[in-house]
Amino acid sequence: MTAAPPPALEVEGVAFAYPDGHQALFGVSFRIQPGERVALLGPNGAGKTTLVLQCNGVLLPGAGRVAVTGLPVAAEHLKEIRRRVGIVFQDPDDQLFMPTVAEDVAFGPANLGLRGAELETRVKAALAAVGMEEHAARPPHHLSFGQRRRVAVATVLAMEPDILILDEPSSNLDPASRRELAEIVTGLDVTILMVTHDLPYALQLCPRALVMNGGAITADGPTAELLADAELLAANRLELPFGFDPAALRVR
């Protein structure tokens, strides 16, 4: 009998305090299975960013454990962990710094030692996944904001990660760019954790959601059910747009 694969991401009893004594996480636990798309929701200061930085070893737990596809997030594994967990930051300009789009996408795999045809194939596949292959030779700063965000996603996909973490992916996007990114995300064959304040976008893209507040997970369940719970939203300082009905939007 074949053993079940390990969770894509396993967080168990994670607590963390910053050097100034601020306790940011209190015994956080959850699992995300391979191929899931999960939204991480919560007000500012809930601990979402601190939690995300635990997932690729920028921060290490003071207590508890984090594992990515079975590999513990620990100092001796950081190079591989950061290949397995790719983070797309809220501002794409934090990730794009090379003269051309193709060079930006090639940067990470080249640092892993890829060269020649193998590197070129990796870059083309990543750009094709986000619909930006025609822009490979352009300087990133000549692109629209939405296009730059798609290129930022491609720079992470080029590393062939197991988990893609998206930090506020819909922020500052016009409606067309927002729709295009949603189509890209739902077409990716990768586990996704999406940190967002955009509750309709979370419902559209992620069948499951985690709600975080005060450094702890306060709810974990189907996104549609959580967003339909007015008391839960109010208790966690989450608000739906005026007039938005969660039941009106079907999750893909």
Give the residue from 151, 85, 88, 164 showing the smallest Cα distance to 123.
151
The pLDDT of 98-122, averaged and rounded, is 94
Residues in the chain: 252
Confidence band (pLDDT; 50, 70, 90) for 248? low
Q: Which residues pair with 63 in a beta bridge?
A: 15
For 28, other C-beta atoms within 10 Å of its C-beta total 24
Confidence band (pLDDT; 50, 70, 90) for 5? confident
The pLDDT of 188-217, averaged and rounded, is 96
* pLDDT, tens digit (0-9, with 9 covering 90-100), for 14-40: 999 999 999 999 999 999 999 999 999
What's the whole-number average pLDDT of the chain?
Answer: 93
Domains and CATH numbers, the chain: 34-51+83-248 (3.40.50.300)
Instruction: Give the pLDDT score at 2.
Output: 66
| pTM reported for the whole predicted model | 0.92
Q: Is the pLDDT of residue 86 over 80?
A: yes
State the helix-helix crossing angle for 145-157 and 116-129, rounded to 10 degrees.
Answer: 130
Give the residue from 205, 126, 131, 125 showing the smallest Cα distance to 168.
205
Q: Which residues pair with 198 in a beta bridge?
A: none
d(CA 203, CA 74): 33
Instruction: Give the pLDDT score at 193.
Output: 98
Q: Is the pLDDT of residue 251 over 60?
A: no
